[in-house]
Structure 1
Amino acid sequence: MARLGSWVRKNRIALAAASLGMTGSALFLQGRAAGSSPVAATWKEALTVFRQYQSATMVNRSRIHSFHVGHVASNSPAEDRHVQAHLKPCDSYLFSIIDGHSGWECAQRLQERLPFYLSCALSPRGKVMDVLPVENWFNRLTDSKSLLAPPVAESDSTQNRFSASASQFNESVVKSGEMSTVNAIKMAVQSVDEDFSNEALGGDKDAVRVVASGAVAASALVHGNELYLANTGDCRIVLGTKNASGPGYVATPLTTDHTVDNTLEVARLRDGHPGERGVIAYGRLLGSLQPLRAFGDFVYKWPYDVVRRMFGTSPPNYLTPPYLTCEPEIRKHKLTNDDSFMILATDGLWDDLSPSEVVDIVGRHYNVLRQQAKRPVDMEENAATDLIIRALQSTCREPDTLKQQEYAAALLKLPAQVRRRYYDDITVVVVFFENESK
């Protein structure tokens, strides 16, 4: 999930070809590498790769018309995950985008658990419900094809850990009494991370792999006209609103990146660790981690002696932990009839496309969707997949569309051990809103 330098982004095809000892045309024709995702030799095959994990789902409830999902992998296995769910007790809709790093494990467990914890925290108080089955709490809205499955089967111990932690959280929610939506969201998000820690300290090897990896996430909770945004890290959510002074749509960021580019985040860390010059070094937390808030990554959270015992090492200048938090930055927005759609995406998309460019692209899809009225959504015109294609095509400096397609197909052809240097996993969710009066 590390951001690529601008020079590398502009020259990634030439660099990739040079690293493999071949010309650009040879790179384009090179066969797939073992252990990599499906590889494209033609643009038609490239489209098959781009559409492999896409989905389009009708909702027609709570101001939501439909949503599109798209994904393309760079890492093998992919480290991105996503959530689309109806939270039953509070009758709300959850959309989350998750970007893992240092492995897929933390992102996977977050995908599995976040809907339950949020549904439980936001449910009416008064009784303790059975934790399992989770269908008591939420329904996933995305078909299994588009969900990125873990590379290994879930063990019985993983399920048992979830059941025990979820039961304890359920009881703590009932005891906590009524609370605001913002506080309930914060409680749910931070409790997921706390339970990751407790399970790992309990000695479960699978749980240790979860806390050794990390993830950032951005979530949107839709309840009628109320939209709550919760962000930890550098995934982004952008709103597309009808332009009041002309055609098209205006891009409004609904989240703020928690990176060194955010002066408030840097100040928060420096204030929490006064006099420690190494707290931010080389543009990263303790010189190592790019996001300044994240799930997992307990090598930056536990006390020094625990870090050394669990991992055998510690980051440099590890003096006054914790240095990292998963505490979400929460914002509330009231949807208006001019709010037309929102885009949730991992940083792989925003590396190559600006919010305005993204909103312009999705706006064209939204206009087509309005003309279709109640017709089923068109999988061939998936807005999320279109954004991913445009992002990879944008790395080509040639204005010719065929050249751009060739470049995008060439990127997909890079062997798994090479392509991560030139583009990141990209996962996108586009949510289309309906006018309240309909």
Structure 2
Amino acid sequence: MLALRLRSCSKNIPLARGYHRFATNCHKGSKMRTEFRLALVSGLLLATSYVSLTNNNLRSDSLPAQGAGSTDQKQLFSASTNSLSGISAQQNKQGIYLLSDAEVSRRLRQYEESYLVNRGKGVIRYDICQLPSNNPIEDDRSEKLVQVPVQDRENNNARVETDWHFWSIFDGHAGWNTSAKLRDSLLDYVVNELDQAYKVSDKNLRLIPSSETIDRAIKQGFLKLDDEIVNKNVQKLLENPSNKAGAAELLMPALSGSCALMSFYDTHSRNLKVAVTGDSRALLGSLDDHENKWTVRALSTDQTGSNPTEVAKLLSEHPNEPNVVRNGRVLGSLEPTRAFGDARYKWAKDIQTRVANQFFGRQLPANLKTPPYVTAEPVITTHEVSPAKHDFLVMASDGLYEMLTNEEIVGLVVRWMEKKKMVKPKKSFMDTLWPSSKDKLPLVEDVTDQSSKSKQRLQTRRKSNEVGFLLEDENVATHLIRNALSNGGSKEEVNMLVSIPSPLSRRYRDDLTVSVVFFGEGDKHEKYSSNSALEINQEATKGGLTMKAKL
């Protein structure tokens, strides 16, 4: 009935996580709900051992006021933790409560944002949502729009106004410090490198360089920022060891780490470049009118110790270290093979020892011999976008892909688009035979090349035989997160997972960050005001702009 599986965390902190699944094809109604709740309680009781071992009480802001007779919450069970000061377990009991549907939706929508792009240049909208599991959340994100006048050599060197769109997601680990640094700095570093790559002509217009030159500029932006985080900042401290006050600010982005996923879209060329450092993933959903079907293509490849290409790269760079990747992890510890920060896998032993002695640090990784092992250099792919085919881009941290397949993600976006009348439903022969198929996800074909597909990490939770879905959000990124937690369309399971407070929630789900970009022709505007380039889509921003995008 329920399989509770524990496995190691996807980053370098070896916390166990459980993903649960209840088979729904044999039991219905109240019996199903009762067995489900009993099973989840069993899993949560296992998780309380983490609380008692670490003496980490549940946060008060995750629980209702003591003694409050709230009709929105139902107590699942009580957990007690014994403090070292001798407070009895009875005095220190804390309950975990099942939140109401309304409260669950409020939490899911707390960090959602949506923007309408009134430019008429191929991008019409993008939605963003985050759901924390760590406290504070270790994920981050940023967006940027840059207007650039370029010289079109293929059109008599005419002046063309192009838009550079940037969307990025940062999946932090061992803390939030590195991802926060990337949020504030990475896009600026990349734009600065592109500024130098797009030379200025005698007409004071930017000359469009080759695709390879653009790729090199993006890589330089990534590497220069990581060099600042990992090397230049620590050098400042070692040269001025009396600066104890600034040590944390300079060192923490180096000692923690973060994956980075950045998409760069040029509206003039309609080229979409995806740069990935780590294991976040980008997907392109497209409508193939000729075949009357939707397709999904992975635009990035997960860079982990389970990727044979990444393993071969590390073995060639460290030929005398056959165990440089052990159990799918760098030096048996870090799963992403590329990341920002993570100085423990980049600094030499003497540097790590000096930092630890003069400031603070962590134990050296086992078998550290010839660092650096990890790099922030991204792998970049280029794809031509077809706005007329209703192309859309999905970017997400790996927490989403642990719960949904690529095909399911695109299918969920398609069903949401159909409800919003952005596309017309595609009817197949199966729809004629079984009208109830409209309640299921559409058939989506994964057209990713086989080599890249074989290197992707698969979703890990056990699935039901029937895959349903929930359709109740105005923001499509929120819609994806809700369905990722639903395990095939179960509202009860969403409520359960959202109700588990931090730090217990980390055993059942990761931080989730999702961005979805819709391409389309939109309205053509000959003239526009830079102030009206982006418009907040209020109905899909119900949580409020708590974390404003960088525009």
TM-score normalised to the size of structure 2?
A: 0.62
Q: 1:267 to 1:437 in 2, by over 3 A?
A: farther
Specify which of 327, 330, 334 is matched with residue 289 of structure 1: 334
Which residue matches 1:230? 275
Q: 1:241 to 1:437 in 2, by over 3 A?
A: farther
Which residue matches 2:257? 214
Write the distance in 2 (CA, Å) between the matches of 1:214 and 1:326: 10
1:9 is displaced (CA, Å) by: 1.6
Q: Which amino acid aligns with 1:356?
A: E
Deviation readout 1:283-309 (Å, 9 max, x if unpaired) = 210011010000000110112211222
Which residue matches 2:543? none
Q: What secondary structure is seen at the aligned counterpart in 1 of 2:364?
A: coil
Q: What secondary structure is seen at the aligned counterpart in 2 of 1:292?
A: coil
Asked if 1:357 is matched to 2:408, the reply is yes
Q: What secondary structure is seen at the aligned counterpart in 1 of 2:172?
A: strand
Which residue matches 2:154? none
* Structure 1: tracts of 5 or more residues without a match: 128-177
Q: What secondary structure is seen at the aligned counterpart in 1 of 2:481?
A: helix
Which residue matches 1:147? none
Specify which of 107, 111, 122 is matched with residue 53 of structure 1: 111
Asked if 1:71 is matched to 2:130, the reply is yes
Q: What secondary structure is seen at the aligned counterpart in 2 of 1:229?
A: strand
Between 319-328 and 358-367, report the one with greater CA deviation.
Answer: 358-367
Q: Quote the sequence identity (%).
A: 31
Between 419-428 and 178-187, report the one with greater CA deviation.
Answer: 178-187
Which residue matches 1:151? none
Specify which of 491, 509, 525 is matched with residue 423 of structure 1: 509
User: Looking at CA atoms only, which structure, 1 or 2, has the larger radius of gyration?
Assistant: 2
Map 1:20-419 to 2 at 5 A. 20=48, 28=76, 41-61=99-119, 62-89=121-148, 91-123=163-195, 180-197=213-230, 198-203=232-237, 204-205=246-247, 206-224=249-267, 225-310=270-355, 311=361, 313-336=363-386, 337-338=388-389, 340-371=391-422, 380-394=473-487, 404-419=490-505
Q: Which amino acid aligns with 2:406?
A: P
The answer on whether the counterparts of 1:17 and 1:27 sit within 8 Å (CA) in structure 2 is no
* Structure 2: tracts of 5 or more residues without a match: 1-8, 22-38, 50-72, 82-91, 150-162, 201-210, 238-245, 356-360, 425-470, 525-551
Between 341-350 and 189-198, report the one with greater CA deviation.
Answer: 189-198
1:363 is displaced (CA, Å) by: 1.3
1:18 is displaced (CA, Å) by: 3.9
Write the distance in 2 (CA, Å) between the matches of 1:88 and 1:285: 41
1:248 is displaced (CA, Å) by: 4.4
The answer on whether the counterparts of 1:89 and 1:119 sit within 8 Å (CA) in structure 2 is no
Q: What secondary structure is seen at the aligned counterpart in 2 of 1:276?
A: coil
Write the distance in 2 (CA, Å) between the matches of 1:371 and 1:271: 49
Write the distance in 2 (CA, Å) between the matches of 1:179 and 1:242: 29
Deviation readout 1:239-275 (Å, 9 max, x if unpaired) = 0010345444211000000012211111000111113
Q: 1:372 to 1:257 in 2, by over 3 A?
A: closer
Deviation readout 1:173-214 (Å, 9 max, x if unpaired) = xxxxx9811111111111111111212321141110110000
Write the distance in 2 (CA, Å) between the matches of 1:320 and 1:19: 38
Q: 1:182 to 1:71 in 2, by over 3 A?
A: same
Q: Which amino acid aligns with 2:372?
A: P
Q: What secondary structure is seen at the aligned counterpart in 2 of 1:9?
A: strand
1:435 is displaced (CA, Å) by: 3.5
The answer on whether the counterparts of 1:86 and 1:92 sit within 8 Å (CA) in structure 2 is yes
1:64 is displaced (CA, Å) by: 0.7
Q: Which amino acid aligns with 1:45?
A: E
The answer on whether the counterparts of 1:190 and 1:327 sit within 8 Å (CA) in structure 2 is yes
RMSD: 3.2
Aligned pairs, number: 371
Q: 1:30 to 1:381 in 2, by over 3 A?
A: farther
Write the distance in 1 (CA, Å) between the matches of 2:287 and 2:349: 51
Write the distance in 1 (CA, Å) between the matches of 2:278 and 2:313: 14
TM-score normalised to the size of structure 1?
A: 0.77
Which residue matches 1:168? none
The answer on whether the counterparts of 1:27 and 1:410 sit within 8 Å (CA) in structure 2 is no
Q: What secondary structure is seen at the aligned counterpart in 2 of 1:381?
A: coil
